[in-house]
Structure 1
Amino acid sequence: MIIRGGPQVVEVTLDADELGVREVNAALHALPGGAAARVVNPRGRHNLAVGLNEAVKVDIHGPVGHYVGGLGKYADITVRGSAGHGVGENLMSGRVRIAGTADRGAAASAHGGTIVIEGDCGPCAGIALKGGTLAIAGDAGPYCGWSAQSGVILVGGDAGRNLGHALYEAVIYVAGRIDGLCGGARAEEVDENDVTAAKILAVACGFDHIDPENLTKVVSRRYLPRFETPRRAALRTPASGFLSTASA
């Protein structure tokens, strides 16, 4: 571990090969607000930079595993590589930025803050979103926005099948093609407020390839589609003679 800086500015370099995940996270948690940390040799390790509770800047040089930056507040985390499952899961505030692709469940249940994916994103991005913001520069996999309760999802590329499955009050903007909406979601044209909001988000994320006036807005139909099977239908159908026998 290398520490640089005077009494007001702290800059730390942490080597994940030397320290391991537990010690790297302990060092990050010990940083005061305003400090900066550089993590080297992450080599796909899971659970890096989780649960941070100070306004620190964390720069991770290399690909990471699952759940990077989750459960945190205030921190600004950048990963210079791709990431596994659950980027920014349960994020409360701050920002997590992935300079690559992300696997399934990015921004799952995020209550606040912003999760930025510079590449493509796997299935179930924004699942159970609860007020956070997810911005994907590339394509989103199937079931993006599944059960998203509130917040915003911006997809700069195409969106996979079953977009907006069981969508609640969250809003999804898609710049490219939509492979298929879930029955509980519907597409709308953007209005002036949508264009303004999408433009602000795209600029903040550095997504200059998105035209806010040519987005598709996806919102809830305000009902949940019912999954039906022959067995469930049979269970709801009274057996022959039951009503007449019961009423006799």
Structure 2
Amino acid sequence: MPLRDANARLQGDAKSAGAFFKVINPRGAHALACGLDSEIEVEVEGHTGYYCAGMNKLARVVIKGNAGQGVAENMMSGEVRVTGDVSQSAGATAHGGLLVVEGNAAARCGISLKGGDIVVKGNVGHMSMFMAQAGTLVVLGDAGDALGDSLYEAQIYVRGSADNLGADCVEKELREEHREKLRDLLGKAGCSDVDVSEFKRFGSARALYNFKPDNVDAY
């Protein structure tokens, strides 16, 4: 089945809530299962290319393999789960929903996040959560350089090392309200046995909200 026909089937004919579809041999296709807007479940057996499950709304998409750049980009709601690794810009600009990466995520994970939640069981690359405005990133492994650069009000939790923070990103107190949020997200990601006290919380220092000549080197 051609990619266009497969997406048309998932977008147009699959409107009944609870319907289940399995995509076999995706062969690294780009923009697979994009623009879904109903409560269906799609299981992809194999690796996918760019922007798989982009603009997702309500659907649950499980990718049994690796995913290319921009997986779950601009997601509105629902859930996208990748059993392998993902390339850069995973979950970019997502407004809602949950992205779970069971492997590692490359650079710019959660870039310009606007309200979605991302849980990465491995490591994330450099510039993750760059200019993120709202939402949450949970990293069970280590974070790359310039984590949270130019962050707004999004929250970042890292279990491993986060030794090189981006401009205006600082470590903050991990209070009980944050532990509750962590428990909820880890439970949804299948990591309920992880101790939330092992995480550090990072957020914006709010020094770059308004232009100040003294901070010109940081912009």
Q: Choose 89-98 or 204-213, whichever is displaced more.
A: 204-213
Q: Unpaired segments of 5 or more residues in structure 1?
A: 1-18, 230-248
> Is 2:9 the counterpart of 1:27?
yes
Matches within 5 A, 1:47-196: 47-196=31-180
CA contact (8 A) 2:43 2:61 kept: yes
Equivalent residue for 1:15? Answer: none
Equivalent residue for 2:212? Answer: none
Distance across 1 between alignment mates of 2:42 and 2:52: 11
Q: Which has the larger radius of gyration?
A: 1
- TM-score, with normalisation over the residues of structure 2? 0.93
Larger RCO: 1 or 2 (CA < 8 Å, sep 6+): 2
Shift of 1:21: 1.2
CA contact (8 A) 1:53 1:72 kept: yes
Q: Secondary structure at the match of 2:47?
A: coil
Equivalent residue for 2:211? Answer: none
Equivalent residue for 2:195? Answer: 211
Alpha-carbon spacing, 1:227–1:76, altered in 2? closer, same or farther (3 Å): same
- TM-score, with normalisation over the residues of structure 1? 0.82
Distance across 2 between alignment mates of 1:101 and 1:86: 12
Q: Which amino acid aligns with 1:181?
A: L
CA contact (8 A) 2:51 2:71 kept: yes
Alpha-carbon spacing, 1:209–1:182, altered in 2? closer, same or farther (3 Å): farther
Q: What is the aligned residue count?
A: 211
Distance across 2 between alignment mates of 1:220 and 1:27: 43
Shift of 1:79: 0.2
Distance across 2 between alignment mates of 1:227 and 1:133: 31
Q: Choose 181-190 or 219-228, whichever is displaced more.
A: 219-228
CA contact (8 A) 1:146 1:166 kept: yes
Distance across 2 between alignment mates of 1:109 and 1:47: 16
Instruction: Provide, for residues 133-192 of structure 1, a one-character-per-residue CA deviation record: whole Å limited to 9, x for no partner.
Output: 011000010011100000011001000010000000000000000130012110023111
**What is the RMSD computed on CA atoms of the aligned residues?**
1.4
Alpha-carbon spacing, 1:144–1:228, altered in 2? closer, same or farther (3 Å): closer
Alpha-carbon spacing, 1:226–1:89, altered in 2? closer, same or farther (3 Å): farther
Matches within 5 A, 1:197-208: 197-208=181-192
Distance across 2 between alignment mates of 1:124 and 1:118: 17
Shift of 1:131: 0.5
User: Percent identity of the aligned residues?
Assistant: 38
Shift of 1:209: 6.2
Equivalent residue for 1:220? Answer: 204
> Is 2:28 the counterpart of 1:44?
yes
Distance across 2 between alignment mates of 1:21 and 1:156: 34
Alpha-carbon spacing, 1:226–1:156, altered in 2? closer, same or farther (3 Å): farther
Q: Unpaired segments of 5 or more residues in structure 2?
A: 209-214
Q: Which amino acid aligns with 1:113?
A: G
Shift of 1:228: 6.7
Q: Secondary structure at the match of 2:2?
A: helix
